[in-house]
Amino acid sequence: EVQLVQSGAEVKKPGESLKISCKGSGYSFTSYWIGWVRQMPGKGLEWMGIIYPGDSDTRYSPSFQGQVTISADKSISTAYLQWSSLKASDTAMYYCARSCSGGSCHYFDYWGQGTLVTVSS
Amino acid sequence: QSVLTQPPSVSGAPGQRVTISCTGSSSNIGAGYDVHWYQQLPGTAPKLLIYGNSNRPSGVPDRFSGSKSGTSASLAITGLQAEDEADYYCQSYDSSSYVFGTGTKVTVL
């Protein structure tokens, strides 16, 4: 069974750093892309970026380039999303999701349960 | 800012048919990229509902169907049920980016 299990909820102060995780299981972690999607309170879905753990090829949405860093450790089948200096506007639910590779396969077939990040002084 | 536009809300009585539109442009849907649909039940993660314009993953009821034409796509729900009350998002590809629609809330009257 394919599963993406994300790390737990976080409460942070503005200016602090944070790294959240997404562990894949039940499939070949290095053969699929892992994307990150933001959902601010009461709002829609926003694509942040994506990584191919097989070779660490990483792409970012122009809206999030330079604001976050996406990485992966294929030895433990885990992808990460990190911030160096959080802002109150980073308060949101963050989802990781799997995307197949190749051709026109640009969709997310499995999703993590989400990690709620709250940034407040 | 979403590049795919959806109606904010649609509603229907149980058993009725509702449709959700997803309007894009020549750089995404009109460029030939496929459209995919997700269902997000309250308080849960999104779930893939339709992929490749009209394909249903295993386990998705055939009450859900998708289509694409030109720069737009549509999701239809026939035989609307109370459990279909959720937010629905379309998604495509544009300029090397995954793009989502603005989202539509479906209410079952």
| Segment B19-75, tens digit of pLDDT | 999 999 999 999 999 999 999 999 999 999 999 999 999 999 999 999 999 999 999
Element (H, E) at A18: strand A18-25
Quick check: B88 and B66 in contact, CB under 8 A?
A: no
Rounded to the nearest angstrom, the minimum Cα separation between A14 and chain B is 24
Rounded to the nearest angstrom, the minimum Cα separation between B38 and chain A is 9
Q: Most B CBs within 10 Å: which of A45, A105, A109, as the mutation test of the B interface?
A: A45
Phi, psi (rounded to 5 degrees) for A75: -70, -25
Q: Does B53 touch chain A (CB under 8 A)?
A: no
* DSSP output for chain B: --SBB--SEEEE-TT--EEEEEE--TTTGGGT---EEEEE-TTS--EEEEBTTTBPPTT--TTEEEEEETTEEEEEE-S--GGG-EEEEEEEEETTEEEEB--EEEEE-
- CA–CA gap between residue A56 and residue A71 (Å, rounded): 7
Residue pLDDT tens, chain A, 121 long: 999 999 999 999 999 999 999 999 999 999 999 999 999 999 999 999 999 999 999 999 999 999 999 999 999 999 999 999 999 999 999 999 999 877 678 999 999 999 999 999 9
Cβ-defined contact of A107 to B33 (cutoff 8 Å): no
